[in-house]
Structure 1
Amino acid sequence: MGLPLRDHQHHTYSEYLTWPDDVRYELIDGQAVMMAPAPNLDHQDIVGELFYQIRQQLEGKPCRPFIAPVDVRLPRGDEANEDIDTVVQPDVIIVCDPGKLDRRGVRGAPDWVAEVLSPSTAAHDQVVKRRIYERARVPEYWLVHPNDRTLTIYTLRDGAYGRPDIFELKETTRLQTMPELEIAWDALVERLPKQEF
């Protein structure tokens, strides 16, 4: 989702906490990755709408949605927080286990992750973060493609993401691992700029 610093040092969460707030980073396997500049309004509109719809449907239920920026620490095992070397900031997440939440964010895999792609983040989200979320055992990972109006869904089966399901952004799409939740697309897509061919 950005540009590696290429300092070839292995960083941990304890160092990450000391970095300046005016530049956002993710930490992927110990490598600092600078986040892209502020995304465009279409991206923000989609992220906001996903969060809004999910939040309404989860009202009064134990699962909670969060919107970026929120640090999600993904330990490989039982290492202490300060030793974790992967910290990401997904666009929208759902966390159902309150034991994963603390004042600094989330420790452990969210139950659902959605990333909205932009030209500067597409490769990172589709390749690097997909691998990270699979390793962390995130049950369901959505990639929203605003330009081609499609949605790619990876679902964890037997510990791995297999072939993804691909849908058009129209009508409604249910979460595969939480089918009581769904996203309605039509009004949102209508607000997006018309596609040019």
Structure 2
Amino acid sequence: MSMNYPDKQYSYKDYLCWTGEERIELIDGIPYNMPPAPSRQHQKILGKIFWEFQNYLRDKECEVYVSPFDVRLLSEDKADNEVKDVVQPDVSVICDKNKLDEKGCNGSPDLIVEILSPATAKHDRLRKYNLYEKAQVKEYWIVDPVNETIEKFILTDETFARDGVFGKSDTIESHIFTDFKIDLYNIFSESD
């Protein structure tokens, strides 16, 4: 998954110059290739989760974005050549509109959702988990389509704490938006 350039660290400035067809993320200055288009199941789940957030946030200050959408982490008050972390979460919820610009999000979203695939599971569970914790993302959901579960992590005293694992028969509630709930049967069900 890594482009494997161990002798050099890259920045957001480099990232902006890459013109290849591949989608790339930067973590600690190391470029990681994003896999080709996700599976149909991944996209259906992504669409349903995005719709739930979009519907809920319609009359609120926060905004929700779906990948591809560049999120520059640990980037506050840094020039493009100093930013070493650029990711494209499946879903990003941003409540501070000052973090939004024409390039995407400059800073940490309040909530991030990543949907696992065989090619990204380790990346999402380890590298991105550690990066999101370091960047102080308030809430992180890891969706496992195969097992039909969502793990929810909340930031507590600057570290993530697992707040639960929720299955198809459960309802998940956001820690940030206390009146936001999703019936997971609707997310993992094959019907639209």
Which TM bucket (shorter chain)?
Answer: over 0.9
Offset, 1:76: 5.6
Task: Describe the superposition over 1:97-145 as per-residue Cα deviations: whole angstroms up to 9, x where unpaired.
Answer: 0000000000111010000111111011001100000000000000011
Provide the C-alpha distance between the structure 2 equivalents of 1:131 and 1:92, rounded to a whole number of angstroms. Answer: 17
Aligned to 2:137, the other structure's residue is in SS state coil
Segments of structure 2 that go 5 or more residues without pairing to the other structure are none
Task: State yes or no: 1:103 paired with 2:128.
Answer: no
Match of 1:139 in 2: 138
Name segments (4+ residues, structure 1) moved above 4 Å: none
Match of 1:61 in 2: 60
Provide the C-alpha distance between the structure 2 equivalents of 1:187 and 1:114, rounded to a whole number of angstroms. Answer: 17
**% identity of equivalent residues:** 36
Match of 1:87 in 2: 86
Segments of structure 1 that go 5 or more residues without pairing to the other structure are 193-197
Contact 1:155 1:176 in 2 (8 A): yes
Match of 1:182 in 2: 181
CA RMSD of superposed structures (Å): 1.4
Match of 1:195 in 2: none
TM-score (norm 2): 0.94
> Equivalent residues in 2 for 1:19-30 (5 A)?
19-30=18-29
Contact 2:151 2:162 in 1 (8 A): no
Provide the C-alpha distance between the structure 2 equivalents of 1:167 and 1:185, rounded to a whole number of angstroms. Answer: 8
How many residues are aligned here? 190
Task: State yes or no: 1:112 paired with 2:111.
Answer: yes
TM-score (norm 1): 0.92
Provide the C-alpha distance between the structure 1 equivalents of 2:187 and 2:111, rounded to a whole number of angstroms. Answer: 20
Match of 2:13 in 1: 14
Aligned to 1:162, the other structure's residue is in SS state strand
